[in-house]
Amino acid sequence: MQSKKVCIVGASGKLGKYMVQHALDRGYEVVGVCRERSVGKLDTFKGRITIIPGATNDREVIKKAVAGCDGVLTVLVPWGAHHYSSGTAQAVLDHARPGARLIFSCGWHITRDGKDVYPESLKKQEKLARWLGRLTRIVDIDDQVEACRRVFVSDTRWTVVRGSDLEEGESQGLPVWSRHVGDPILESNMTRRVDYALFMVEALENDELIHAAPAIVGGRTPSALAYAAAVGPGHDR
């Protein structure tokens, strides 16, 4: 049987490289998109993946990269003052083949329905990032918000995975998730980056996550374990 083909947009970053590894482990044929200057960061995968160099918001680059792909994993980053994030999302939405599974990454700060309840620390962090962004024009949080808004209203088979704070370290297995920040299961607000990538790749085959914006947290964190102990094994949310 022919293996399924997935495109990873933003493959050279920390999250991207973990996703490449998980995708290869699962037998997917992998196409990666990254900036020309970052191609060397993917040397460990030489000969095992196809790399399309270019800006992720370049529509021609994305069109070429997602051709024939069954799934697209997109790292949405709020960099720059030129609508990088929304340009990237739009290019993927427009050029992925109809029916393809589209998985996007972002942080807890993105809300789908306005029902998230944010800790004070996170509100302050976001306020600071917005202020710094306006000052330096290095970060544009509002453009990442716009990118997700476009995904939410699209008629594609999308999932937006909202990451908690991240840390490096050995895998602790698949994160757990909830629909709203503020739910007790998420309280620990920490996920291993390698496991965030695992959740993104596993979402390709999880139809329960279509048209959902799961907020995730590490499965071995205190809040996840406390929730599991209270409701019994096998339950998220």
Ligand X SMILES: NC(=O)c1ccc[n+]([C@@H]2O[C@H](COP(=O)([O-])OP(=O)(O)OC[C@H]3O[C@@H](n4cnc5c(N)ncnc54)[C@H](OP(=O)(O)O)[C@@H]3O)[C@@H](O)[C@H]2O)c1
| Interaction site with ligand X (CB under 6 A) | 10, 12-16, 34-35, 38, 41, 75-77, 79-80, 84, 105-107, 163, 165-166, 193
List b or e across 43-75, with b for residues whose CB sees 16 or more CB atoms inside 10 angstroms. Answer: eebeeebebbbbbbbbeebbeebbeebbbbbbb
CB nearer ligand X, residue 101 or residue 162: 162
What is the nearest approach in angstroms of ligand X to the Cβ of residue 230?
A: 26
Task: Give CA–CA dist 186/224, Å, rounded.
Answer: 7
129 class by beta-carbon count within 10 Å (0-12 exposed, 13-18 middle, 19+ buried) = middle
Which amino acid does the sequence have at 87? G
Q: Which residues, in sequence order, are bridge partners of residue 159? A: 103, 212
Question: Closest separation between CB of residue 186 and ligand X, Å?
Answer: 12
Q: Please say which residue, 29 or 140, places its beta carbon nearer to ligand X.
A: 140
Residue closer to ligand X (CB basis): 52 or 106: 106
Q: Where are the beta strands (DSSP E) in the chain?
A: 5-9, 29-34, 50-53, 71-75, 101-107, 157-163, 166-167, 176-178, 191-192, 215-217
CB of 73 to ligand X, least distance (A): 11
User: For residues 24 and 79, which CB has a smaller minimum distance to ligand X in the complex?
Assistant: 79
Residue nearest ligand X, CB atom distance: 13
Indicate the residue among 2 and 43 with the shorter CB distance to ligand X: 43
Q: Which is nearer to ligand X, 13 or 133 (CB)?
A: 13
Residue 87 CB, shortest distance to ligand X, in Å, is 10
What distance in Å separates the CA atoms of residue 21 and residue 36, rounded to the nearest whole number?
Answer: 20
Shortest distance, position 63 Cβ to ligand X, whole Å: 19
Question: CA 69, 24, 204, 200 torsion: positive or negative?
Answer: negative
From the CB of 45, what's the least distance to ligand X, in Å? 13
